[in-house]
């Protein structure tokens, strides 16, 4: 359903209920959101609406490399994609699997102790019950349908003064840009003109890319890029797509620089469990990863050697989830984290001392908190008591049930956990070895009898 039919249906429904003002209000909301509030110029009666952005920004020595992919729904066979930059950009095509590689090599890794939280009671029935009734596992995400990649025909960049008519208030862009758009058969809304004029009036460049779609479809997703833009900039900056009345398009952003960078104006928060699926929060940068790029050697090699991106020697990677809010924000400028204090480190970093201590302590949980451990301890005590009461005490398997259980727990931890999480097996195996090394006495201790003799007085 296109925009015109949507608005018509809204107005028709409102007319039947004698609520014209509701229909008019909804139409005013829908029109700017879908037509005016994006970076696309299309022929009349056609539309292109973005629904997702992936962006990587690398800033080093006044040079910025920006790679981005845009997912969209498009009904035009030809459209123009407009972007603003602080200096004249150079455009090239990036590898088709660029963001697939970057995403796979920048996954947030859970603390080792998190593995034990999924199975806290070890080889116990309680673990099965815990997973069945208390542990809400994330449902696997459905793979989005494959997007067709749109063809980049040509591009041009423009700079110059704008004019505003005193008669009708119309904004006129530099003549070169106006002529180029006319030749493409596309048109701009009044709001798009105002947004472009705002950038041009402060000396920025407008990049216009002519995009061709062989099979326009409102149902099937399309993709522009990955495109690589290179330009000069004093600081890392990301010009946002025009924000809409209902909020902007979700962004997955990777920011690489010599120091950790955060937004200069917008709040930055650390995602509670970044290794799980994280929801966007409108108008807020959510950090899902903040690490030295040297800790991700394969990713650093891919960016530097394979993609020829000049990353800093002390490169730091921040990964953000961001959805622009309702505020009319032209661009996002990034500053070092020390200029806007923000917590970027998790409370329990993977492999930290606290993480390992948690693993050690949680490894004892099956010995302390499970009914199997209590039952085996009671049966072992009963068996040992009966053995001591006999005239000829014997050692049987039942007298060692609880001695064997810690070894079973340690084996379970070692086989089911990975990496340093296996330290959970250390304390159970120590308990088991102590029990085997110092067995119980087969006899009850004999009573101590003391004879007291009174010393005779020789005098």
Coil, strand or helix: which one is 300?
helix
Asked if the bond preceding 226 is cis, omega within 30° of 0, the reply is yes
Residues 32 and 92 placed together within one structural domain of the fold = no
Q: Which domain holds residue 305?
A: 40-111+147-339
Residues 264 and 399 placed together within one structural domain of the fold = no
Residues 309 and 395 placed together within one structural domain of the fold = no
Residues 26 and 46 placed together within one structural domain of the fold = no
Q: Is residue 396 part of a domain?
A: yes
Rounded Cα distance between 152 and 91, Å, is 11
Count: domains in the chain: 3
Q: Is residue 132 part of a domain?
A: no
pLDDT in single tens digits along all 459 residues of the chain: 444 444 444 444 444 444 444 444 443 344 333 334 468 888 888 888 888 889 999 999 999 999 999 998 888 888 899 989 999 999 999 999 999 999 998 888 888 888 888 888 888 888 888 777 776 665 556 666 778 889 888 899 999 888 888 777 788 899 999 899 888 888 888 888 888 888 899 899 999 999 998 988 888 888 998 999 999 999 999 987 655 444 578 889 999 998 888 888 888 887 777 777 777 777 788 888 888 888 888 888 999 999 989 888 889 999 988 888 766 466 888 988 876 656 566 666 777 888 889 888 988 888 888 888 888 888 877 777 776 666 555 556 666 777 788 888 999 999 988 888 889 889 998 988 887 776 655 545 556 565 666 666 555
Residues 217 and 306 placed together within one structural domain of the fold = yes
**Sign of the C-alpha dihedral computed for residues 237, 243, 247 and 250 taken in this order:** negative
Residues 46 and 12 placed together within one structural domain of the fold = no
* Residue 250: closest CA among 424, 55, 27, 104: 55
Q: Is residue 459 part of a domain?
A: no
What residues form DSSP beta bridges with 84? 206
Q: Is residue 195 part of a domain?
A: yes
Q: Is residue 390 part of a domain?
A: yes
Q: Is residue 119 part of a domain?
A: no
Residues 80 and 158 placed together within one structural domain of the fold = yes
pTM, to two decimals: 0.75
Residues 306 and 396 placed together within one structural domain of the fold = no
- Kind of pairing between the strands at 90-93 and 163-164: unpaired
Coil, strand or helix: which one is 60?
strand
Residues 222 and 186 placed together within one structural domain of the fold = yes
> If you search the block for the tokens 């500053």, which residue do you land on?
335
**By CB neighbour count within 10 A (0-12 exposed, 13-18 middle, 19+ buried), where does 141 fall?**
exposed
b/e burial code for range 251-286 (CB count within 10 A of at least 16 → b): bbbbbbbeebbbbeebebeebeebbeeeeeeebbbb
Residues 26 and 44 placed together within one structural domain of the fold = no
Residues 166 and 308 placed together within one structural domain of the fold = yes
Residues 24 and 153 placed together within one structural domain of the fold = no
In what side-by-side order are the strands of the sheet with 237-239? 237-239, 331-336, 261-263
Q: Is residue 383 part of a domain?
A: yes
Q: Is residue 210 part of a domain?
A: yes
Other residues' Cβ atoms within 10 Å of the Cβ of residue 20: 11
């Amino acid at each position: 359903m296109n925009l015109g039919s949507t608005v018509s249906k809204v107005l028709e429904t409102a007319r039947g209920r004698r609520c014209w003002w509701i229909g008019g209000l909804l139409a005013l909301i829908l029109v700017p959101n879908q037509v005016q509030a994006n970076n696309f110029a299309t022929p009349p009666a056609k539309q292109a609406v973005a629904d997702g952005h992936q962006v990587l920004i690398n800033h080093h020595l006044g040079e910025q490399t920006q790679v981005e992919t845009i997912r969209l729904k498009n009904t035009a066979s030809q459209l123009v994609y407009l972007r603003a930059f602080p200096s004249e950009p150079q455009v090239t095509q990036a590898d088709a699997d660029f963001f697939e590689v970057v995403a796979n090599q920048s996954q947030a890794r859970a603390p080792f102790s998190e593995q034990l939280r999924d199975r806290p009671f070890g080889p116990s029935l309680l673990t099965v019950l815990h997973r069945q009734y208390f542990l809400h596992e994330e449902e696997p995400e459905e793979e989005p349908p494959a997007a067709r990649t749109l063809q980049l025909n040509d591009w041009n960049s423009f700079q110059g003064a704008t004019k505003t008519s005193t008669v009708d208030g119309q904004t006129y862009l530099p003549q070169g840009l106006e002529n180029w758009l006319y030749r493409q058969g596309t048109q701009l809304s009044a709001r798009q003109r105002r947004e472009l004029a705002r950038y041009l009036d402060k000396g920025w460049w407008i990049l216009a890319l002519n995009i061709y779609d062989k099979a326009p479809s409102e149902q099937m997703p399309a993709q522009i890029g990955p495109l690589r833009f290179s330009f000069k900039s004093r600081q890392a900056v990301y010009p946002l797509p025009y924000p809409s009345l209902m909020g902007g398009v979700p962004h997955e952003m990777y920011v690489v620089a010599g120091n950790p960078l955060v937004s200069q104006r917008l709040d930055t928060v650390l995602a509670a469990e970044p290794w799980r699926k994280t929801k966007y929060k409108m108008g807020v940068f959510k950090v899902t990863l903040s690490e030295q790029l040297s800790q991700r050697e394969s990713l650093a090699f891919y960016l530097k050697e394979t993609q020829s991106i000049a990353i800093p020697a002390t490169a730091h990677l921040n990964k953000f989830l961001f959805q622009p809010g309702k505020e009319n924000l032209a661009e996002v400028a990034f500053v070092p984290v020390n200029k806007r204090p923000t917590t970027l480190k998790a409370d329990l970093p993977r492999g930290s001392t606290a993480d390992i201590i948690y693993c050690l302590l949680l490894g004892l949980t099956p010995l302390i908190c499970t009914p199997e451990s209590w039952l085996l301890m009671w049966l072992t005590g009963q068996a040992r008591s009966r053995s001591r009461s006999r005239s000829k005490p014997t050692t049987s398997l039942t007298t060692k049930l609880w001695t064997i259980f810690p070894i079973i727990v340690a084996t379970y931890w070692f086989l089911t956990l990975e990496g340093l999480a296996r330290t959970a097996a250390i304390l159970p195996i120590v308990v088991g070895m102590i029990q085997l090394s110092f067995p119980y006495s087969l006899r009850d201790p004999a009573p101590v009898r003391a004879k007291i003799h009174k010393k005779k007085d020789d005098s």
